[in-house]
Chain A
């Protein structure tokens, strides 16, 4: 199928089915039950899952294959968002031109930045990309305020030209749409005590994520992908054999920059705002975490990692002490307060603490990321003769 071998095709179909039924799968707990807090099946979070999956898949093409650790990829995410919002402001609320433009602009920027940064490798490369990203952040935050609207973030306004759409007359801001289908259109279905929200924006992002995932598989399996792996394993040897590695690394850098631009453009398409803090170094660090947590250099790892982190950020951060008290209300008062006092530092505002500990555990015990955990589990239960699961040995190796 699509010129993929059976195992890869199976993987693609697996991911496609999961994304298709995500609104149902992510709402396992009945509405109103105590566990409903852990449901993740609402449009905004599902959109974030797939958008950050695209971001991480792209980052993995650079980091997982060539081993170049970029600490500045959030800059391309931000550039993609700004480009998309400008398209919404100037041209049309249709998401197609916005997303295309954001990919192109991010590609151009990554070409320039990559050309400079790839003159060095290893830690020097990382520092250079970090410097560029911080520079972009500062520019967006204050210097380029006429273009980026500074710390407030670039937003739509009623007075924007939007040459293809014409003026709105209702006094309300227009919505981003795909040929008339608004991105925030949501079909709510109540069944089995659960509310399933099928959002148009989510499915638009999901389709693009599947395309991005397919392209990533093809790159992984192509001779070009093999060349990128060679860059990672021993660049010097390749140079000695007379091969110029830089074009390959640059191509990987630009591709991953375009993925980041696509993710940024989609973020703006789902929610037409572009803020400078999207470009901050913490955002660049986040995608590194996602990739390593999921499993760098694997196909599925980045998707898992991004979902994991976004879930923590959006679900665990919302558990406050009132909710904890509700959960443990069955305990005697003193014990209840004690249990809540013990758990509280790890949820709510402590979500980063929990995430950090889990990250450490994964890196120490599962150096190949969550995907390695999944593989170990599979081996444990499937009892397949060794070798079958390791057929794709390069794909399951840890990053460094």
Chain B
């Protein structure tokens, strides 16, 4: 497969791009190879393992095994379980070690050795940005997995890269009105922020979005990423006069800081005549499991949640649960959807040529994938859809039933212009077919 460049030209018909069929890793046999580039070791290994499960499920469904999952609810009907464009889907997987460097190495081996036409996965923004840039250079499509920083579709956006997951700005925009409704206006906020790109953009998104409701940031303290004990950061919060604590942390950081904060009894305090509240801007099921009962009553935002009532979510949760015995996380969901979206785009384009795929995905509107009507915006390759505001359940029934839905923030409220200052500075460039 690595010798695709030397292969016989195959004639496709239909799309305009199909005539120029010279592109990297053109599949010549009866299979087409996907590259699933997920962390199996390192801090986000749990997310990575769940992503890989979702990908394997997606491949099954695309090849007509299993119950078809979201193929039955997806608004575009080109996927019928016969693979893509008559080719069965094969895949290779690699361990990104939750490091940008290693992620690029595995992605490169998938492109150079295994002849993958698309790379998808990743569970940190550093990985996503690094692999997206690599795919742009190599002329391969990148479908981002779990990446929440604004930069992925902002400063570092690339023509060959696409993101289905939501971002910091959307989290802030979705949370602010709900927070104001729950906790009232004129709050004083103390931020604890993980000291790297994602933490900073998360913090500024929340600060900007809540300003409109009269929330004022008292202080923003940066915490080193390697911290495991946050008690020394929690103590000063009590004397700062703040009545809300926002934890701009993710993964193990958030589990530890939230646990510390709750154990210090912050939530039982009264400050300025108001109940002290804690907010976690980005929630995930895996983190909620880690923090256990400390998440009770804590509010945060989510991309997707397995207990939603729409048919797409029901279909996906059912087939995932049947295969693996537990419900999928939002990381699994976004990866599953990305794999299907790529497959559908290739079918609609009539070729695997990256430029044709880009054309098919840009401005694509779809439904039935668990998030309601969704748009892949052409200007920055970011998906726009409703955002969920979640709350830790007071009385969870089991360890997968930790969160409950507070509100679905409609997409109009989280929409922003492509030239929003939080996303400015990058250019998509032109699509690269790699040959």
Chain B residues lying within 8 Å of A188, measured Cβ to Cβ, are 2-3, 5-6
A44 to B104, CA, bound (A): 10
> Contact residue range for chain B?
35 or more
**Contact between chains at B101 and A318 (CB < 8 Å):** no
Shortest CB distance A233–B (Å): 37
A197-B225 CB under 8 A given contacts A42-B113, A352-B41: no
**Contact between chains at B106 and A171 (CB < 8 Å):** no
Chain A residues lying within 8 Å of B2, measured Cβ to Cβ, are 31, 42, 188, 195, 197
**Contact between chains at B40 and A318 (CB < 8 Å):** no
A158 to B430, CA, bound (A): 11
A145-B95 CB under 8 A given contacts A44-B105, A349-B45: no
Chain A residues lying within 8 Å of B224, measured Cβ to Cβ, are 138, 142
Chain B residues lying within 8 Å of A336, measured Cβ to Cβ, are none
The verdict on B329 contacting chain A, using a C-beta distance below 8 Å, is no
List B residues 342-392 near A (Cβ within 8 Å).
none
**Contact between chains at B129 and A48 (CB < 8 Å):** no
Chain B residues lying within 8 Å of A170, measured Cβ to Cβ, are 430
Partner among B112, B149, B196 whose Cβ is within 8 Å of the Cβ of A141: B196
Chain B 93-114, CB-CB to A under 8 Å as 1, else 0, gives: 1110001111011101100110
A42, A158, A175: most-surrounded residue (chain B CB, <10 A): A42
Chain A 136-163, CB-CB to B under 8 Å as 1, else 0, gives: 0010011001000111110111110000
Shortest CB distance A369–B (Å): 24
The verdict on A244 contacting chain B, using a C-beta distance below 8 Å, is no
A287 to B430, CA, bound (A): 39
Chain A 164-175, CB-CB to B under 8 Å as 1, else 0, gives: 000000111101
**Contact between chains at A275 and B225 (CB < 8 Å):** no
Task: Tell me the count of chain A residues lying within 8 A, CB to CB, of chain B.
Answer: 47
The verdict on B301 contacting chain A, using a C-beta distance below 8 Å, is no
**Contact between chains at A277 and B105 (CB < 8 Å):** no
**Contact between chains at A348 and B95 (CB < 8 Å):** yes
List B residues 102-158 near A (Cβ within 8 Å).
102, 104-106, 108-109, 112-113, 124-126, 129-130, 133-134, 136-137, 149, 151, 156
The verdict on A320 contacting chain B, using a C-beta distance below 8 Å, is yes
List B residues 266-299 near A (Cβ within 8 Å).
none
The verdict on B21 contacting chain A, using a C-beta distance below 8 Å, is no
List A residues 120-146 near B (Cβ within 8 Å).
138, 141-142, 145
**Contact between chains at A153 and B129 (CB < 8 Å):** yes
**Contact between chains at B105 and A322 (CB < 8 Å):** no
**Contact between chains at B3 and A195 (CB < 8 Å):** yes
A152-B126 CB under 8 A given contacts A141-B225, A348-B40: yes
A151 to B196, CA, bound (A): 6
Shortest CB distance B163–A (Å): 14
Shortest CB distance A355–B (Å): 12
Task: With CB as the reference atom, state the residue of chain B lying closest to A171.
Answer: B430
**Contact between chains at A48 and B105 (CB < 8 Å):** yes
**Contact between chains at B129 and A152 (CB < 8 Å):** yes
Shortest CB distance A310–B (Å): 9
**Contact between chains at B92 and A318 (CB < 8 Å):** yes
Chain B residues lying within 8 Å of A271, measured Cβ to Cβ, are 104, 108, 134
List B residues 164-191 near A (Cβ within 8 Å).
none
Shortest CB distance B80–A (Å): 23
**Contact between chains at B430 and A318 (CB < 8 Å):** no
A39 to B112, CA, bound (A): 12
A317 to B92, CA, bound (A): 11
A145 to B195, CA, bound (A): 10
The verdict on A43 contacting chain B, using a C-beta distance below 8 Å, is yes
**Contact between chains at B100 and A153 (CB < 8 Å):** yes
Task: With CB as the reference atom, state the residue of chain A lying closest to B195.
Answer: A142
The verdict on A89 contacting chain B, using a C-beta distance below 8 Å, is no
A273 to B119, CA, bound (A): 18
**Contact between chains at A42 and B100 (CB < 8 Å):** no
Task: With CB as the reference atom, state the residue of chain A lying closest to B151.
Answer: A152
Chain A 45-77, CB-CB to B under 8 Å as 1, else 0, gives: 100100000000000000000000000000000
Partner among A152, A273, A314 whose Cβ is within 8 Å of the Cβ of B109: A314
A320 to B106, CA, bound (A): 13
**Contact between chains at B5 and A273 (CB < 8 Å):** no
Task: With CB as the reference atom, state the residue of chain A lying closest to B114.
Answer: A318
B45, B125, B149, B429: most-surrounded residue (chain A CB, <10 A): B429
The verdict on A278 contacting chain B, using a C-beta distance below 8 Å, is yes
Partner among B92, B100, B113 whose Cβ is within 8 Å of the Cβ of A39: B113
Shortest CB distance B94–A (Å): 5
A151, A184, A313: most-surrounded residue (chain B CB, <10 A): A151
Chain A residues lying within 8 Å of B3, measured Cβ to Cβ, are 31, 188, 190, 195
The verdict on B1 contacting chain A, using a C-beta distance below 8 Å, is yes
Partner among A175, A280, A320 whose Cβ is within 8 Å of the Cβ of B137: A175
List B residues 223-252 near A (Cβ within 8 Å).
224-225
The verdict on B222 contacting chain A, using a C-beta distance below 8 Å, is yes
Chain B residues lying within 8 Å of A184, measured Cβ to Cβ, are 137
**Contact between chains at A43 and B112 (CB < 8 Å):** yes
**Contact between chains at A152 and B1 (CB < 8 Å):** no
A151-B41 CB under 8 A given contacts A273-B130, A275-B99, A317-B95: no
The verdict on B401 contacting chain A, using a C-beta distance below 8 Å, is no
**Contact between chains at B130 and A275 (CB < 8 Å):** yes
Chain A residues lying within 8 Å of B56, measured Cβ to Cβ, are 322
**Contact between chains at A273 and B104 (CB < 8 Å):** yes
The verdict on B426 contacting chain A, using a C-beta distance below 8 Å, is yes
**Contact between chains at A152 and B106 (CB < 8 Å):** no
A317 to B95, CA, bound (A): 6
Chain B residues lying within 8 Å of A318, measured Cβ to Cβ, are 92-95, 106, 109
A-B contact pairs, 27 of them (CB 8 A): A42-B113, A44-B109, A44-B112, A142-B195, A142-B196, A150-B197, A151-B124, A151-B225, A152-B125, A152-B126, A153-B130, A155-B129, A156-B133, A157-B427, A195-B2, A273-B104, A273-B134, A275-B99, A275-B100, A275-B126, A277-B102, A313-B105, A318-B92, A320-B93, A348-B95, A349-B49, A352-B41
Q: A152-B126, A158-B427 are in contact. List 19 more A-B contacts (CB 8 A).
A: A31-B3, A45-B109, A142-B196, A145-B196, A151-B100, A152-B149, A152-B151, A170-B430, A171-B427, A171-B430, A273-B133, A275-B126, A277-B100, A280-B99, A314-B105, A348-B95, A349-B45, A349-B49, A351-B95
**Which 5 A-B pairs rank lowest in CB-CB distance, beginning with the nearest?**
A349-B40, A44-B108, A171-B430, A42-B112, A42-B113
- Give the A-binding residues of B (Cβ under 8 A): 1-3, 5-6, 40-41, 45, 49, 52, 56, 91-95, 99-102, 104-106, 108-109, 112-113, 124-126, 129-130, 133-134, 136-137, 149, 151, 156, 195-198, 222, 224-225, 426-427, 429-430, 432
- Give the B-binding residues of A (Cβ under 8 A): 31, 39, 42-45, 48, 138, 141-142, 145, 149-153, 155-159, 170-173, 175, 184, 188, 190, 195, 197, 271, 273, 275, 277-278, 280, 313-314, 317-318, 320, 322, 348-349, 351-352
